[in-house]
Structure 1
């Protein structure tokens, strides 16, 4: 399809083309079939997006456009019913690179003092919760752990979600509904216990809220927590592979701590390199591009809040700030992120750093392994271009590390 491209301002391309009335009406019918919608606004938006997508793909390829973010679309009808579609394309700003080789950044020396290793040993030991079976006939006390099978019944009929097998329950943990754990105190391994309780009035399942139920429980084991101690015996109970003594544990942690500190030192050096390269480069980031990055951050915060059962509005209320103030707070990070990304892209282009097809396929295979998700399905979720961009950024960072870390 024929189109015109103009550059009305710096870092902005405007693509315009006209769709005949007949072609647009045909696209509206196809949109109705695809979207299953009768809403004229939805159908019009879908038709405009379909035409724009084809033209944009051709224009980007032909004119070597580098889009900063998703273009805005607008459709205008003329007197004859033809539709002129305008695509406003925000473009990446030009980057004038400064020095990005030979910065001679020194990586911090790494030292792991013995007292740090010992502190980590004690921390890991103290964090362990190990249990041992008490002698037969021992009555369960508060603080003990019982392993139970249970079946919940309401009016003599088992209810959904009310059964479990080999469930470890710490008495006094209040992890079950009120009154449940108390009735298991004094029970012994092998004993069957009938637990009568009433669900709270505000219980999330309406059919059970405020209702009396019975749990038929079988106590399979009564256990007491083993006091954490830095001894060979306690380590043996932890069943750590390759660890048979306190000395083994100490040596393992010394190696792990050193590796962790080495990685931290390298990350710090890489961060310093990127900071120096970005500071030495010139790039004028458009406000619209910064605003778009801030919106991405806001959306990420909103999604994170949902995981904790909280809305963004509630978070802002608790933290005592307005949405505008929150966005302003995110702005410096948005500028830093964009500046560094733009500089990395400019270096990758200058040094001809690319992601090969095999590298991208290998990355999908790695992601598939990490998330236990078929690679082919991942490709539908994570676009090919996104994976390629991330790979190029990593390879560019490796290039900068190689060129700037002091030997």
Structure 2
């Protein structure tokens, strides 16, 4: 459990399950047969998949799209507030005729039904209108978080400054034309079904690849670890712990406790195991790529770099967050993709299908 928890700390970026941390380093200058005893990685067994998209799946996705396109409508003085509306209020709370700390506020937004206030406060505003002042005679629950208020009777005077309502559009041709490349509801519905199918199929294929990669790792033994990579990763992970502690304004010891680690010895053990796993993964990726003549094109490299840049990650950001140069990070990531594809292309797909 602790190893899983600390994994997020030990590396700032993970893509397709491969943690990449390090400076400019390459396994191409190693004879990896001296470091690895690689077992079977071709013909590995993996279950087939079966993808199903139900009408309920499609309806749920369409409703989610409609909800995302909702607009806020300001309510006038003649429109009663309903559950789900958002109000802006001033309120004053009094116990035995006296105000109390935390019981008053001005210009506070509140969504009716959110459960942000004690029972009766939000529901007590339903049916009222913008501009009204409402008196609510309520009671704090017996298990309220503030001891001094537990079980106390309280009166809130609430002024409704304004109110808005989220208006969800209907599924019709107007919505379809505005929010998609289609003209009819039928075409739009079919596109959602295909979109969901493609998503589930991609997830199923990725699960197959992950299963095969885990099997290939299990079939591989490390004869020895290259000191350069292993020591760098161990040092990098330790530095990351210090940087995280500094970011949150706590000591290194306190940071260890946050990750359920008792002391430095336990951190060092987890750090070493994690670093060894990374080295093993990267060596196996390079080994299979070399053995099977797997490579990527300049176009694929440029596309991945542009993808990172579109997410706000330039070369400096990649190095700061992963400890690797952009060149090395892209190299190992693209080879990993090629290796996964190779494992699946050469797998023995057998057994009962998994359903996505």
Q: Report the TM-score, using the length of structure 2 for normalisation.
A: 0.52
Q: 1:398 aligns with which of 325, 341, 350?
A: 341
Contact 2:42 / 2:347 at 8 angstroms: preserved in 1? yes
Q: Deviations over 1:96-116 (max 9, x none)?
A: 222222335333222223334
Which deviates more from structure 2 when the two are superposed, residues 101-110 or residues 339-348? Answer: 101-110
Within 5 Å, give how 1:15-30 maps onto structure 2: none
Gaps of 5+ in 2: 1-23, 89-106, 112-128, 132-160, 351-356
Is 1:110 matched up with 2:48? Answer: no
**Distance 1:378-1:304 versus aligned 2 partners, 3 A rule:** closer
Q: 1:66 aligns with which of 30, 45, 48?
A: 30
Contact 2:85 / 2:163 at 8 angstroms: preserved in 1? no
**Distance 1:349-1:120 versus aligned 2 partners, 3 A rule:** same
Number of equivalenced pairs: 257
Is 1:317 matched up with 2:257? Answer: yes
Show the counterpart of 1:210: none
RCO (CA 8 Å, sep 6+): is it higher in 1 or 2? 2
Show the counterpart of 1:352: 293
Within 5 Å, give how 1:15-164 maps onto structure 2: 65-66=29-30, 94-122=35-63, 130-135=71-76, 144=86
Contact 1:274 / 1:340 at 8 angstroms: preserved in 2? no
CA distance in 2, matches of 1:306, 1:172: 36
Show the counterpart of 2:166: 226
Q: Deviations over 1:231-271 (max 9, x none)?
A: 437x9499532578876665444333222211111111111
CA distance in 2, matches of 1:66, 1:254: 49
Three-state SS of the structure 2 residue aligned to 1:226 is strand
**Distance 1:261-1:336 versus aligned 2 partners, 3 A rule:** farther
Gaps of 5+ in 1: 1-56, 68-90, 147-168, 174-184, 188-218
Is 1:272 matched up with 2:215? Answer: no
Show the counterpart of 1:241: 180
Q: CA RMSD in A?
A: 5.2
Contact 1:243 / 1:249 at 8 angstroms: preserved in 2? yes
CA distance in 2, matches of 1:297, 1:379: 14
Larger radius of gyration: 1
CA distance in 1, matches of 2:252, 2:179: 43
Q: Report the TM-score, using the length of structure 1 for normalisation.
A: 0.46
Q: Deviations over 1:156-213 (max 9, x none)?
A: xxxxxxxxxxxxx97347xxxxxxxxxxx967xxxxxxxxxxxxxxxxxxxxxxxxxx
**Distance 1:93-1:261 versus aligned 2 partners, 3 A rule:** farther
Contact 2:319 / 2:326 at 8 angstroms: preserved in 1? yes
Q: How far did 1:223 drift?
A: 5.7
Contact 2:182 / 2:188 at 8 angstroms: preserved in 1? yes
CA distance in 2, matches of 1:279, 1:343: 11
Contact 2:37 / 2:222 at 8 angstroms: preserved in 1? yes
CA distance in 2, matches of 1:238, 1:252: 13
CA distance in 2, matches of 1:361, 1:372: 14
**Distance 1:303-1:242 versus aligned 2 partners, 3 A rule:** farther
**Distance 1:232-1:116 versus aligned 2 partners, 3 A rule:** closer
Contact 1:316 / 1:322 at 8 angstroms: preserved in 2? yes
Three-state SS of the structure 2 residue aligned to 1:339 is helix
CA distance in 1, matches of 2:193, 2:256: 43
**Distance 1:325-1:124 versus aligned 2 partners, 3 A rule:** farther
Show the counterpart of 2:282: 341
CA distance in 2, matches of 1:264, 1:96: 31
Three-state SS of the structure 1 residue aligned to 2:50 is coil
